[in-house]
Amino acid sequence: MWERRLKADEKAIAVIAILCTAIFPIALAFLSLNIIQTVNTKLLIDPPSLYFETLVPGKRFSINVTVANVTDLKGYEFKLSFNTQMLDVVTLAFLPEANLPVGNCCVDDAAGVLWMNATYDGASITTTNAVALATITFKMMARGTSPLHLYDTKLLNSSGAPIVHGTADGVVLILRHDIAVVYVAPSTYETYIGRVVNVTVTAKNNGDVAENFTVKAYHNDTVTGTSNVTNLAPGENTTLLFNWDTSDAVAGRSYIIKANATTVLYEADTTNNELVDGTVKVKIIGDVTNDNVVDINDLVAWDAAYGTHEGEPHWNPQADINGNSEVDKDDGILIIQNYHSTPP
C-alpha cells in the first residue's frame, strides 16, 4: 500500500513539475511585458528643445507636457522649473479637452516653478502615441538657456493607484550672436615713411554659437589688411597680425589705427564690432624729434643715442633711422641728407 501511495505522490509531483515548466515561461512573459509597458510610460516635454536665433522681447511660444505609452490615466500632477530671468509664464492650459480635465495650477515666479494638477471627469486616457496633457505659453525676456525640468510627477489610474513612469526634460535657448574687436595696437606710434608697422588685432566671440566672420584693419579709412575667421567657438578669441607698409602714407601725417569685424547673422549689438586704438605718426626721414622738420635738434637727439643698440641705456628707436637696431653713422648721414626737410 505504501508503495502505491509513493508512486501516486511521484506522479502528482511529476504533473506539477510539468505544469510549472509550461506555465512559468508564460507567466514570466506576461510579467516582462507588464514591466516593459510600465517602464515605457513617459511624461515629457514637447518639443524637447527650442532654439531662437535672436531675442525678441515679449515674443510668445508654447511647449506641451505630454504622456506616451500609458494605460488608464485618470489624473496627473507635476512641477516644472524654468529660468525666470529669461522666461515669463503667460498662460497654462489643461488638455485634452475631450476628456474634460478639471485642474489646478499655480506659478511661483520668484522660484521659477509652475505646478499643475488635473483629474479627468471623462474617460481615462489610454494611448501609445504622445498625447498633450498641458500647454504652457512663455514669453521671452532675455537671452540665455532655460532647462525645463519636470519633477515631483504623479500619474494615477482610475483606482487612484500610481502609474510607474519616466520623465524627459526640455530646454529653451535664446541665442546671442555677438562678435567684438577687443584689442588693437600697432607695433609703434611713430615711424618713418616706408617702414612696416605691425598691427595686432584680437577679436572675440561673445555669443553662444560658433561664428564665421571677417576682420579688417585700417589706417584712416584705407584697408591695411583683411583676415577671415572660421568657426570661432563661443567665448574664444583669435589674434591676427596685419602688416602696414607705410609707403602708401604721406609723411608728416598721423593715421588713425582701427579694426572691425563684419556683422554676423542675427547679431543685435554691433557697437563693439569696431575698435579704434589711436594714431601712428608717419614721419619724414630724419625727423627724430617728431616736429615735422629735420634740423639741429634731430642731430642732437641722434648724437645722444649714438652707439647704442636696442635694449641698452640711452637707446632711442627714433634715432635708428635705417631700422638696423643700432644708432650709428649711417643714421646721422640720413639726417644730414634730409636736413631742412619738411612734410609735403
Extended beta strands in 143-208, E state: 144-156, 166-168, 170-174, 179-186, 190-192, 196-205
Q: Which domain does 110 fall in, by range?
A: 42-174
Angle of helix 296-305 relative to helix 329-337, nearest 10 degrees, comes to 170
C-alpha cell of 278?
589711436
Q: Is residue 257 part of a domain?
A: yes
pLDDT tens digit sequence for 57-67: 999 999 999 99
Assess whether pLDDT exceeds 80 at residue 26. no
Confidence grade of residue 98 (pLDDT, cut at 50, 70, 90): confident
Count of the separate structural domains present in the chain: 3
Q: Is residue 341 part of a domain?
A: yes
What is the predicted pLDDT for the residue at 32?
Answer: 44
Query: What is the chain's Cα-based Rg?
Result: 39
What is the predicted pLDDT for the residue at 21?
Answer: 53
- Specify whether 337 is located in the same domain as 249: no
What is the predicted pLDDT for the residue at 213?
Answer: 98
- Specify whether 141 is located in the same domain as 198: no
113-120 and 75-81 as β-strands: parallel, antiparallel, unpaired? antiparallel
Assess whether pLDDT exceeds 70 at residue 337. yes
Query: Which CATH number covers residue 194?
Result: 2.60.40.10
Q: Is residue 165 part of a domain?
A: yes
DSSP 2: H
What is the predicted pLDDT for the residue at 11?
Answer: 53
- Specify whether 166 is located in the same domain as 48: yes
pLDDT tens digit sequence for 119-161: 999 899 999 999 999 999 999 999 999 999 999 999 999 999 9
What is the predicted pLDDT for the residue at 161?
Answer: 97
Count other C-beta atoms under 10 Å from residue 328's C-beta. Answer: 17
pTM of the complete model: 0.73
Assess whether pLDDT exceeds 80 at residue 1. no
